[in-house]
Amino acid sequence: MLYENKIQEIVRLIKGSDKTFALTGAGISTESGIPDYRSPGTGLWEKQDPAKTASLSALRRDPAFFYSTNLKRWTAFNDAQPNTAHTALAQLEKMGLLDGVITQNIDSLHVKAGSKTVWEVHGHLRTCRCMDCRASHSFDHLVQSFDNGENPPRCLKCGGVLRPDVVLFEDQMNDDYYQVTFEISGCQLLLVVGSSLTVYPVAGLPSYAKEIVIINNTSTPYDNEAAVVVHESAGKVFRDIMHKLGVTL
């Protein structure tokens, strides 16, 4: 199918669906300057083993090393801005054509773009909590503590080690994930954007949808089951989708 025909078919599916969700992965944020995890040559996990550096056991074993290794990368997310794809999804929700965004990303770019219904199934970097007393703090406090020479950053209440409110390797999934497995029931159309669909349990969510559209630079295990597959950048595809819907981004 030609690219133009694919865009027309995606628009037809969006208009015809009464319950549509988007599932986004790291690929939607690369145009905002955030590298993804698994792209050959540039993926973050090609440079380090996440089981050794970004896992719950790594944090417990050596919290100072954990923060020295990960915090600079995470704070870089705070400077990133939403791109066309994030803005388009927020606009689709505003137009009543999208029921919500399920994201694997921790960069908060959907929230920044104005999306109102967002399930951050791997958490976010807006808050953190104490590993001992579980008191909540802003993520800014964690960063400021680290920048002031406190490594690992400590809880203001009990002095325990702080941890970000993200789902680390070896962590249990968060409440957003369990909520979305209920909310997605009856989904007519799932727009998969920038996800390789290889990380479980989130990679199993497309099985809840009647029809799937995949927008990703590389192939996924679900390509053969999708109604439309577009191997292009998310920004380009959504700019063209919104143009067909009469919206200029």
pLDDT digit string (tens) for 195-222?
999 999 999 999 999 999 999 999 999 9
Instruction: Please provide the DSSP assignment of 68-95 as one string.
Output: HHHHHHHHHHTT----HHHHHHHHHHHT
- What confidence tier does 53 reach under pLDDT thresholds 50, 70, 90? confident
Return residue ranges of the chain for CATH 3.30.1600.10.
40-79+124-166
Place of tokens 């997310």: 77
Return residue ranges of the chain for CATH 3.40.50.1220.
1-34+81-122+172-249
Distance from C-alpha of 106 to C-alpha of 26, rounded to nearest angstrom: 9
> Residue 188 pLDDT more than 80?
yes
The half-sphere exposure of 207 on its side-chain side, counting CA atoms within 13 A, is 8
Lowest mean pLDDT among 39-43, 129-133, 207-211, 244-248: 39-43
* pLDDT tens digits along 118-166: 999 999 999 999 999 999 999 999 999 999 999 999 999 999 999 999 9
Distance from C-alpha of 55 to C-alpha of 203, rounded to nearest angstrom: 20
pLDDT of residue 249: 82
Ligand-binding annotation for 128, yes or no, is no
DSSP code, position 241: H
pTM above 0.85, yes or no: yes
Distance from C-alpha of 177 to C-alpha of 103, rounded to nearest angstrom: 10
Q: Which fold has domain 1-34+81-122+172-249?
A: Rossmann fold (3.40.50)
> Residue 40 pLDDT more than 60?
no
- What confidence tier does 78 reach under pLDDT thresholds 50, 70, 90? confident
**Six-digit token string for 98:** 């999208």
Ligand-binding annotation for 187, yes or no, is no
Catalytic center residues? 122
Ligand-binding annotation for 133, yes or no, is yes
20-24, strands of its sheet edge to edge: 118-120, 100-103, 20-24, 189-193, 211-215, 228-230
Distance from C-alpha of 89 to C-alpha of 227, rounded to nearest angstrom: 19
Q: Which fold has domain 40-79+124-166?
A: SIR2/SIRT2 'Small Domain' (3.30.1600)
> Residue 43 pLDDT more than 60?
no
Mean pLDDT for the chain overall: 93
Lowest mean pLDDT among 2-16, 29-43, 107-121: 29-43
What is the dihedral sign for C-alpha 186, 4, 25, 72? negative
Please state the separation of Cα 179 from the chain's center in Å.
16
